[in-house]
Amino acid sequence: MILPLVQIAALVAITLYLVRWRMSVRRRNAETWDSLLAKLRLDWSARELSDQFLWKEGLSATPEDAWRRMEGPKGLWVIYQNARVMLEMADYAAKHCEGVDRLLVETLHSDAMQIRVCVLTALVQYAFTQASEGVRVNAYRAASIYTGMAARMTQLLQEHAAVLVPDFVAAM
């Protein structure tokens, strides 16, 4: 009696997951450049950490200074969310522009995953130890990867969709 109920529950759960996944794919495919730009969080910018973060990789701040400038977990969360949006932007550019460097898009995918792992690690550490050295180092690493990702995203747009660069720069 219990086994058929478990099987039905599992089937319903898998069906719901697949329906939600399909809906998210459709929604993502229907997005426009403007809707992606609108998703970027503007309440914190990596401009605080690097003079030319959209054009060059690297930070011009120490881990302690970066933690202070990013306003702790607030800046980390913005980095986490904007990394996902920049990944969607890279996919959008790859889909709508010809000759996009697939290696660059894959690098952006890798950057986004590294950022998300660093941010989540730093936030978990912060929850237990507040602003310890490990938290600041992970936050610095996430911010460093983020500036690199922003620079590569700018490069991708300059090479294949130059008309989109001003909107991206203004949004960042």
Co-location of 26 and 37 in the same domain: no
**Is residue 33 pLDDT above 90, yes or no?**
no
Co-location of 113 and 137 in the same domain: yes
pLDDT (tens digit per residue) in 51-100? 666 666 667 677 888 888 888 888 889 989 988 988 888 888 888 877 77
Co-location of 134 and 163 in the same domain: yes
Co-location of 2 and 77 in the same domain: no
Residues spanned by the domain of 11? 1-30
pLDDT at 14 (0 to 100): 94
Q: How far apart, in Å, are the Cα atoms of 69 and each of 46, 64, 166?
A: 9, 9, 25
Co-location of 125 and 97 in the same domain: yes
Co-location of 99 and 56 in the same domain: yes
